[in-house]
Structure formats: structure tokens, C-alpha cells
Amino acid sequence: MAMTSRPYRRRRDVTMLSLLLLVLAAVLGPTPSSAAGNDWWIPDARPAPDSGINVTGAPFTGTDAEGDVRGFVDAHDHLFANEAFGGRLICGKVFSEAGVADALKDCPEHYPDGSLAVFDFITKGGDGRHDPVGWPTFKDWPAHDSLTHQQNYYAWVERAWRGGQRVLVNDLVTNGVICSVYFFKDRGCDEMTSIRLQAKMSYDLQAYIDKMYGGTGKGWFRIVTDSEQAREVVEQGKLAVVLGVETSEPFGCKQILDVAQCSRADIDKGLDELYALGVRSMFLCHKFDNALCGVRFDSGSLGTAINVGQFLSTGTFWKTEKCTGPQADNPIGSAAAPGAEAKLPAGVSVPSYGSDARCNVRGLTDLGEYAVRGMMKRKMMLEIDHMSVKAVGRALDIFESESYPGVISSHSWMDMNWTERVYGLGGFVAQYMNGSEGFVAEANRTKALRDKYGVGYGYGTDMNGVGGWPGPRGADAPDKVTYPFRSVDGGSVIDRVTAGQRTWDINTDGAAHYGLVPDWIEDIRRVGGQGVVNDLFRGAESYLGTWGATERHQAAVNLAKGAPATASSAEWWNPFTSYAPGLAVDGSRDTRWASEWNDGQWLRIDLGSTHRVGQVTLDWERAYGKSYNVQLSADGSDWRTVWSTTAGDGGLDTVRFPGTPARYVRIAGTERGTKWGYSLYEVGVHSG
């Protein structure tokens, strides 16, 4: 069924290569479908040979009785990671005009027995040896614990869609450091070059599937660039595909010896380019500290290896400190990684870390905050997984000060103590594709929060993300999956998936590839009951709710911007730098007001006329107020305290109180948090 209500935005730069591929497809003559007819979900033709789908019945369409869309959401997948990391880390392609036999080939260095599958034995253990033959035997791959072989073949994604998934976030991914140190590559390591290619391949895949269904816009794989468009796709029973980005040095923002290698102009240019490509969500840091933010550490031998990469890339190892709150980054530990450590210069070794110092000293930098605010201007969603708790805390402070809902945790890589703050903003949370028992346990732990905020749940498969996936529970496991089974909506029958001579069974093979997502969800239902699956089935609606609220967000008017300001004092020690009161309301974080170095200082803002005031934001410099009051006045003489604290800790404070008519706002400090005075980059006053 073609979409008629709204045309899709298509890339204008359709290449001659894409046209040539379409011509070749016609010449090769894909095989007719055996069940086309009026079944819109069955293609007119497929490439030959191809993988089976083994799902019968019509995909559900429309909305429920409340008008909500239905379906599962995978908030974190990497369709085209095979094009990343130099092109040879993930072996095999998502699609090929010549079919599955050409698409699912092993990397050339893996022949004849996997002896040179270096990354395979680094990540999987053992000697890495395996049968490199894919089609038609698939003897050793794809597998749940083989991290270097394509898991996202298009027909397997199709099977997940047929099983009830309606939103897929395709994170365009790469890592320049991993690319540079990996032994095998067939291209350069520039991250943005890889991101552009993966974006192009995503649109090419859409065209490839469209051709099977008779033309542009007719296929089930639909790249969407706004939430309304996504809802239309889901209501038609198709798969809405959202483009995201997960890289280690976005916009070239790496750091060397703590010196940023990018500028604000680079960030603006990069965000504009990504937005034009259709990207609507992204990470600002991943695995290695960069010029934007510190990362949430990896643990064990992998953590040690990544820490070595951090040093080789930036000239510094991770640095830790004691955490100031209940949140913590992952423990680094002291596990050896001999292969990686051998790359360090003579005399350099990975430092040891105290077990009581679990937090990265690096948080969100000034450039990182500029990038966060740049994403807000473009109504993009920020992925906070992989950011250090210090960076996440600052990002959430910024979002809360603006009531901005566009925050996503897509695959369990944040401290779970942040969950309620994410939900409170209107954000979305998905859990990593863990084994069914572990997934159910974590889903149950956060069930009360989902009920409190009335939200659904998501999963992040992270396929092609070299993370590992659920292993088999065993043929004799209690409550095992029995085939065939019905989809959650009841309209489809799902049997074991077969490709060539190989048939996969979730009980004995685990989540070997993307086609087993419906089987994994059925395993969750058997282990944890229908309630968990019902929350997942509401995931598409919740994800699109977050996205839509992000698009509709309007920044509140700052009543204080440019208003007259006075203060009890202003620091003066440098004749070339001013710390006058008005600098706290000039709209720039490059300037600030600073008082003299004693308690009892205040800053007063004249709003010019009476307004209803219900929120004040205070962006402290290092010299912050430990105890202070927010006071309001109609005439500048009689003051009323509407909020106070004795436990200020600096950073960005958002103070909310019942809306009160006032012309004047005063921040009255009673105790300093440092030996210096009180210093504020910016004060915002809002009606609330």
C-alpha cells in the first residue's frame, strides 16, 4: 500500500551508482514472490537467493482505541557498522543486488579458517578460528557471541518488523581510534566520511526495498525525519526508521593533552550537516573522552584496552575522582589487556584506580554545552548513554532549566539512578538486549516508574555493535519458546527462521541475528509474563511522544535577559575584565557577575514591570552559593522569600515555586560554597 497523505523527503543527490544498481537488479531478474496478490506486505520480487522470513499473516495497522500507535521500538541498532571502523571489522553486508550469497560473505582475511580473525578472538575469546562460509551453511555465524559478522541482513530486519517492531533507530556508528589501530581496513578512518556513507547506504536500502514493492514509497522500510511522519508510517503498519549518530569524535572534536581540536563553528557546521542528512538523535561522546564530554568507563580487560586507546588518541589516560552523589561510572578495574598494552610507548603503563573513585573527572565541557544547546535549537534528541555521570548531570540540569524533553537512554549505558530524571523531563528509556531473565528483572525494577509517568519501554539490540547478545537458555529450559507462536497482536504466526541450510531456534541458538528479535520477545513473555511485553508494545508510542514533544518545545521567555541589574558589590582586581552585575543577565556564558569575597552578597534584577514569576535558573561559576534565598518584590522595598537552600553545590540550579506577581527578583547569599565570593554566569527568570 503506497503512502499518499504525505510525500517522503528524499535525498536529491541520487548517484549514478544507485541508478546502475537498479538497472543491474532488473537484468539479474529477482524471483517473483509466491504470495503477492493483494497482500501489501509481500513483495512483488526478491533477490535470489535470499533468506526466509517464516512469518505469515497481515501486519497490524492503525491505532488503538485511544488513538495511540502500537508496536515495539529498537532504540539502538547499527545497520551499516560494516562500513565503519575501516570497513573490515564487521564482515558482510545488509543487502546486495545479488542476494544473500553475496551479502553474507566473511572478510577475506578470515579465510580459510579464521586464523586472522583478530577482533573475533579478542572479543569472543579462544583462537578466533571459525568456518568462514556463510550462505548456504552458516555453520559458525551469525551467532550470539560472534561479534564480527553481519547480524542486520535486510530480510532479518523484515522479520522483526513482521513480528511487531514499528520503530528502528539506526545509529550511524564508527570510531576513528579503533579504526586506526585495527590491523585490517580498506578505507580511511575519518569519522564524518563514514557517517556520510552510512547515511547514503540507509537511503539506498530504502530504495532497494521499495523496488521489491513496485516503486518509490511502497516498501516497508521508511526513513522518517519528524514524528508526524513516523506516526503515519506506523499507522500504515510499516517500519519507521530514525537516523542517529554514535561516534567518538563528532565534528572532529577530539582533544589532545586536554586541548580541544574543534571550535563552535565546527560544531554548528557539523550539526547542520547531520540534520540535513536526516539525523535526529546523537551521542556527543563514545568510549573515549573528547573535547565535548567525558565518558562512562568500560570495565575489565576491554576497559583496559579502551583506556590504552584513550591514551594513544588523546595523550591522557582516564582520570577518576570520588563521586559526589549516588551516581557512579563503571569501575575500571585492573584487568590486563596484553595485546593493547603492548602498543604503549616504552615506560608508559596504564595507571591503577582506587575502588572508591568511580567517577570520571571530565564532565560536559563548555564546547559540549554549546553542542547540547545547539541540538536543542535544532530540536534534536540527546543520547546520554556513554556520557560520564558528571556530563549527564550537567546535561540534565540544562534540559530541566529549559523543560526540554529530548533525552534518550537507549541501551543501558547510564547510571540507573538517572531514570526518574529522564522520565520527569518526558524522555525515553530502553534497555540493552539482555537475556530474558535479566531483561525481565530490570524491567520489573523500573516498572513503578513507568506506571508513574505512564510510559512504555524499549529495547536496544545494539546489533553489529560488538556488545554480545542473549545466549541460548537451552532446549530443556523451563518455559522455553515453542514454535510456531503468535505475534503480540495475535495477527501473525511466527515459525523458526531459515536461511539456506541453516535454521535458528532461540532456545538453542540465542539471539544470533536480528531476525530472532520476535523470538526473543516471545522468550521474555514466557519468562516474565505478558505485562513486560505489553510495556514494550507501548514503546513506539512513548518514543514518538518524546520526539514529538521535542519538536514542539518552545524556549520560555527569559524575563531577566538584558534587564537592569544591581548588586551589593562587584569584584575588581583586573582593570581589563569586568564582573559587573549586568553581565549575569546579558545572555552570554562567556561573561559573569562576581561579588567581593565575603558572605551576605546579593544580586537584584529589575524586570521593568510586574510579571508572574515561577522559575529562576542560576548558572554558577566555581564560586557558588552554599546557602542562598530567592526573593521577590513588587516595589523593590518589601521582599518575600519564595525559595531557599542551605545545601547548594554549584552548577546549574533550577528553582521552581508557585507563580507570584513581582517586578524585582533578588538572589541573596548567606553562605559561600568556596573561599571566593558569589559568581553567576547567567540568571534566568521565567513565568514557570
Q: Indicate the Cα dihedral angle 579, 582, 588, 593, nearest 10°.
A: 30
- Residues 6 or more apart from 300 whose CB is under 8 A from it? 333, 335
Q: Is residue 26 part of a domain?
A: no
State the Cα–Cα distance between residues 344 and 471, nearest whole angstrom. Answer: 35
The confidence band for 447, taking pLDDT boundaries of 50, 70 and 90, is very high
Q: Three-state SS string across 168-202, please?
A: EEEEEEECHHHHHHCCCCCCCCCHHHHHHHHHHHH
563 has pLDDT over 60: yes
18 has pLDDT over 50: no
Angle at 175 between CA 330 and CA 263, to 5 degrees: 95
Higher pLDDT among residues 271 and 121, named by residue: 271
- Residues 6 or more apart from 491 whose CB is under 8 A from it? 57, 58, 59, 60
pLDDT reported for residue 129: 87
Average pLDDT of the chain, as a whole number = 92
**Checking DSSP bridges between strand 640-645 and strand 625-633, what pairing results, if any?**
antiparallel
The confidence band for 194, taking pLDDT boundaries of 50, 70 and 90, is very high
Higher pLDDT among residues 203 and 116, named by residue: 203
The confidence band for 124, taking pLDDT boundaries of 50, 70 and 90, is low
pLDDT reported for residue 535: 98
Chain centre distance of CA 126: 32
What average pLDDT does the segment 246-271 reach?
Answer: 96
What are the start-end ranges of the E strands in 441-550?
Answer: 458-460, 485-486, 493-494, 497-499, 502-504
Q: Is residue 569 part of a domain?
A: yes
Sheet architecture: strand order including 493-494? 55-56, 493-494, 485-486
Q: Is residue 680 part of a domain?
A: yes
Q: How many CB atoms lie within 10 A of CB 648?
A: 19
What average pLDDT does the segment 196-200 reach?
Answer: 98
State the Cα–Cα distance between residues 29 and 44, nearest whole angstrom. Answer: 12
Q: Is residue 515 part of a domain?
A: no
State the Cα–Cα distance between residues 89 and 360, nearest whole angstrom. Answer: 29
CA end-to-end distance (rounded Å), the chain? 46
State the Cα–Cα distance between residues 108 and 681, nearest whole angstrom. Answer: 56
Over residues 280-312, the pLDDT tens digits come to 999 999 999 999 999 999 998 889 989 999 999
**CATH assignment at residue 635:** 2.60.120.260
630 has pLDDT over 50: yes
Percent pLDDT > 70 in the chain is 94
Q: Is residue 312 part of a domain?
A: no
The confidence band for 539, taking pLDDT boundaries of 50, 70 and 90, is very high
Q: What residues make up the domain containing 570?
A: 565-687
- Comparing CA positions, the residue from 17, 25, 20 lying closest to residue 46 is 25
- Comparing CA positions, the residue from 157, 155, 134 lying closest to residue 501 is 134
Written as one letter, the residue type at 227 is S
pLDDT reported for residue 123: 67
Over residues 133-156, the pLDDT tens digits come to 999 999 999 999 998 999 999 999
383 has pLDDT over 60: yes
Q: Is residue 624 part of a domain?
A: yes
179 has pLDDT over 90: no
- Grid cell 536480528 is found at 514
Q: Is residue 652 part of a domain?
A: yes
20 has pLDDT over 60: no
What average pLDDT does the segment 488-510 reach?
Answer: 97
Percent pLDDT > 90 in the chain is 86
pTM of the model: 0.91
List, as one string, the DSSP characters of 63-88: --TTS----EEEEEE-TTGGGSTTTT
2 has pLDDT over 60: no
Q: Is residue 622 part of a domain?
A: yes
Q: How many domains does the chain have?
A: 1
- Residues 6 or more apart from 371 whose CB is under 8 A from it? 250, 251, 253, 267, 271, 284, 292
pLDDT reported for residue 118: 75
**Per the structure block, which three cell numbers stand in for 671?**
553562605
262 has pLDDT over 90: yes
- At residue 460, the 3 state secondary structure works out as strand
Contact 176, 248 (CB under 8 A): yes
- DSSP label at residue 312: H
- Grid cell 514494550 is found at 536
- DSSP label at residue 417: G
What average pLDDT does the segment 198-212 reach?
Answer: 98
pLDDT reported for residue 10: 33
List, as one string, the DSSP characters of 242-292: EEEEEESSGGG--EETTEES--HHHHHHHHHHHHHHTEEEEES-BSB--SS
pLDDT reported for residue 607: 98
- DSSP label at residue 309: H
Over residues 48-82, the pLDDT tens digits come to 999 999 999 999 999 999 999 999 999 999 999 99
The confidence band for 121, taking pLDDT boundaries of 50, 70 and 90, is low
What average pLDDT does the segment 621-650 reach?
Answer: 97
